[in-house]
A = this chain, B = another copy of it.
């Protein structure tokens, strides 16, 4: 009785196809303002059909954001390196992040937008912050840093994670798609990133 399973596979496949097309569509000319009719057209499906696979437009963008998060998580997990101190890894971590935002600005902006969204974990039904996997990595690095003494330990891990993550998003949010504004004011964007690291790095090291 493999029919059920085939159906399920086909259903997942179609979902992926829709998501694929949505990725191209929403990262294209019209951006996030592309309509569901547009998506229906470029998937060659009826509009109603789309709603059999996703409850609404928002959920499609969320699903894309999740894809982006997973991409980012994979890259970040390669940063974990026991031969390095916590502080060093934080620096690497930041580099990965910035590179990711440069290479995948579309996913970047989705992450910025949906980062705070709470999803239900499949199976367990447990509520999870969308970016949880990424924060996990950051947490591990910080933990190592506090253990090896390279990172200040007067602030809890969870709080430090929230702080670093928020600051980083804040900076990236300023940088993303605002080169012109910063230029008007004669601000060197490259130096914002560098400066951010410098401040954070000096701010994170444990006090003598």
Q: What is A's interface to B at a CB cutoff of 8 Å? A: 116, 118, 127, 129, 152, 154-156, 158-160, 162-163, 165-171, 173-175, 178, 181-182, 184-188, 191-192, 194-196, 198-205, 207
Contacts and interface: CB of A to CB of B under 8 A. Distances in A.
Contacts of A178: 116
Nearest to A170: B170
Given A200-B199, A200-B203, A204-B199, A166 B155 contact: no
A-side interface mostly: helix
Nearest to A115: B174
A118 B185 CA distance: 12
9 contacts: A116-B174, A116-B181, A152-B202, A154-B198, A155-B194, A158-B185, A158-B188, A162-B174, A167-B171
Q: What number of copies of this chain does the assembly contain?
A: 2
B181 A171 contact: no
A168 B165 CA distance: 12
A188 B156 contact: yes
A200 B204 CA distance: 9
A159 B203 contact: no
Could you say which of A167, A175, A178, A201 has the most chain B C-beta atoms within 10 Å of its C-beta?
A167
Nearest to A175: B166
Contacts of A175: 166
Nearest to A167: B167
Given A159-B187, A166-B175, A202-B202, 13 more contacts: A116-B178, A152-B198, A158-B185, A162-B174, A163-B195, A163-B196, A166-B196, A167-B196, A167-B199, A169-B174, A201-B203, A202-B207, A203-B203
Contact of A129 (B154, B181, B188, B194): B181
B166 A174 contact: yes
A203 B192 contact: no
A87 B83 CA distance: 36
